[in-house]
């Protein structure tokens, strides 16, 4: 029986909160805390009639370590689930250290003023968390998260050595808008407009944004264009998968999304450099976020499925081997169950499971860890149970 303090009550937070409430045997009590407390109160009012989990709410500015420390001292949680934005990772980690509380998140730290994400800032806390005797679990969403667990599972059960990993993230959903993002628009656009990058033979290879395109026929979704992007799990997998030769990440985008994005980039709307507008400093990308559809509003309109998984090549018992493991998630079914589309669903479910692994002691080890560093079996066992079953294919079509 555990108590969780959940920071952030947006798309991903809302799904994780629904799932904690479905799992009241483990999550006896949750406190939902965010910048806008009214959203936490609305969700509490919706869920408290349906669950045995006791729910409280609080207002917090997660950029302020002292505010976080007093909240943690008051709530006394077993774990802090960081489902706010990547900008808040370090302040929340600091507060967890100060109060000796376990920590988890779904995305690695990114400074607000430079669109650059990497693990170094969070890995710098390894010794401090070890000394404090608490666990920090990094990247417990789908990608990173489940894709990292899929890799540990493939290595444990199917390969002696993995040579290549292709992570394929396909969203076959249609929300009917010409342009909208499936999660926080600011974070999403910073990610997709960055240069592409992949890991090969011990070094990074950089590409222009969307320079490398492939076409793949995704099970249960169909044929889609996909583009090579940099993604944070490549960095930790390159370190944690012994002998790995290449890791790439591809995400599908439709032509309408890409055309709109190019146009917005060309006119300067995706810039994070502040500009002066009518006597006020504004960041164009933050203004764009304000006029785009709220990702939470896409839920009732989105039809279709996501397919996210990993294709591995390598060797087992001296023979060459290929293996594809993926999950298919239906936008409409997700909406029916928790009131959110599949992108939030596929992130919020593993967030709850990751926290569950830590508070039940299955994944508790003082220090800062990525998902693939723990035993994948208990996590995999929970995935199907909580709505994300996986499919295996032993002769997949490879990506060239």
Report the interface residues with ligand NAP, using CB under 6 A. 7-13, 34-36, 39, 60-63, 83-86, 88, 106-107, 139, 141-145, 183-184, 187, 295, 347
119 Cβ contact partners less than 8 Å away, ≥ 6 residues apart: 108, 109, 138, 232, 235, 236, 370
Cβ count within 10 A of residue 91? 22
Quote the distance between the C-alpha of residue 111 and its chain's center: 17
Least distance (Å) from ligand NAP to the CB of residue 218? 17
The smaller minimum CB distance to ligand NAP, of residues 8 and 314, is found at 8
On whether the CB atoms of residues 159 and 394 are closer than 8 A, the answer is no
The smaller minimum CB distance to ligand NAP, of residues 36 and 50, is found at 36
Least distance (Å) from ligand NAP to the CB of residue 87? 7
Q: Which two tokens stand for residue 336?
A: 């029916």
Q: Which two tokens stand for residue 357?
A: 């692994």
Cβ count within 10 A of residue 249? 27
**Whole-angstrom Cα distance, residue 229 to residue 191?**
8
**Whole-angstrom Cα distance, residue 255 to residue 225?**
9
The smaller minimum CB distance to ligand NAP, of residues 189 and 241, is found at 189
Least distance (Å) from ligand NAP to the CB of residue 150? 13
Least distance (Å) from ligand NAP to the CB of residue 142? 4
Least distance (Å) from ligand NAP to the CB of residue 286? 11
**Whole-angstrom Cα distance, residue 217 to residue 219?**
7
The smaller minimum CB distance to ligand NAP, of residues 36 and 259, is found at 36
Least distance (Å) from ligand NAP to the CB of residue 8? 3
The smaller minimum CB distance to ligand NAP, of residues 205 and 292, is found at 292
The smaller minimum CB distance to ligand NAP, of residues 81 and 221, is found at 81
99-103 CB contacts, 8 Å cutoff, 24+ apart: 99/69, 99/72, 99/73, 100/132, 100/133, 100/134, 101/5, 101/72, 101/77, 101/134, 102/78, 102/134, 102/135, 102/136, 102/137, 102/358, 102/359, 102/364, 103/79, 103/129, 103/134, 103/135, 103/136, 103/137
Residue 122 DSSP label: H
Quote the distance between the C-alpha of residue 164 and its chain's center: 22
Which residue of this chain has its Cβ atom nearest to ligand NAP in the complex?
10
Least distance (Å) from ligand NAP to the CB of residue 1? 26
The smaller minimum CB distance to ligand NAP, of residues 175 and 321, is found at 175
Q: Which two tokens stand for residue 107?
A: 């995305």
106 phi, psi to nearest 5 deg:
-125, 0
Least distance (Å) from ligand NAP to the CB of residue 64? 8
Least distance (Å) from ligand NAP to the CB of residue 14? 7
The smaller minimum CB distance to ligand NAP, of residues 171 and 347, is found at 347
The smaller minimum CB distance to ligand NAP, of residues 34 and 164, is found at 34
């Amino acid at each position: 029986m555990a108590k969780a303090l959940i920071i952030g009550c947006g798309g991903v937070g809302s799904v994780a909160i629904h799932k904690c409430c479905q799992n009241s045997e483990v999550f006896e009590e949750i406190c939902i805390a965010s910048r806008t407390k009214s959203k936490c109160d609305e969700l509490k009012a919706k869920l408290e009639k349906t669950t045995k989990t006791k729910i409280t709410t609080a207002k917090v500015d997660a950029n302020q370590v002292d505010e976080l420390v007093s909240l943690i001292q008051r709530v006394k949680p077993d774990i802090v689930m960081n489902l706010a934005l990547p900008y808040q990772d370090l302040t929340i980690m600091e507060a967890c250290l100060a109060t000796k509380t376990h920590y988890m998140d779904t995305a690695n730290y990114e400074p607000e003023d430079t669109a650059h994400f990497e693990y170094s800032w969070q890995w710098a806390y390894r010794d401090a968390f070890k000394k404090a005797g608490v666990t920090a679990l990094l990247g417990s969403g789908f990608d990173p998260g489940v894709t990292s667990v899929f890799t540990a599972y493939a290595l444990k059960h199917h390969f002696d050595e993995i040579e290549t990993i292709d992570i394929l993230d396909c969203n076959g959903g249609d929300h009917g808008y010409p342009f909208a993002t499936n999660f926080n628009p600011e974070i999403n656009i910073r990610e997709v407009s960055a240069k592409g990058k992949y890991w090969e033979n011990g070094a990074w290879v950089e590409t222009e944004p969307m320079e490398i395109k492939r076409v793949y026929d995704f099970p249960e979704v169909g044929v889609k264009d996909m583009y090579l992007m940099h993604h944070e799990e490549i960095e930790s997998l390159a370190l944690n998968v012994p002998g790995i030769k290449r890791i790439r990440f591809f995400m599908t985008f439709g032509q309408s999304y890409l055309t709109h994005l190019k146009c917005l980039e060309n006119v300067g709307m995706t810039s994070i450099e502040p500009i002066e507008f009518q006597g006020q400093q504004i960041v164009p990308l933050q203004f764009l976020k304000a006029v785009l559809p709220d990702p939470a509003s896409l839920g009732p309109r989105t039809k279709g499925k996501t397919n996210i998984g990993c294709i591995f090549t390598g060797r087992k018992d001296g023979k060459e081997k290929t293996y594809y493991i993926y999950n298919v998630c239906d936008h409409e079914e997700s909406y029916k169950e928790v009131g959110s589309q599949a992108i939030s669903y596929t992130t919020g479910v593993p967030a709850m499971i990751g926290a569950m692994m830590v508070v039940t002691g299955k994944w508790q080890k003082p220090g800062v860890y990525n998902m693939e560093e723990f035993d994948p079996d208990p996590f995999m066992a929970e995935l199907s149970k909580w709505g994300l079953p996986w499919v295996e294919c032993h002769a997949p079509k490879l990506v060239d």
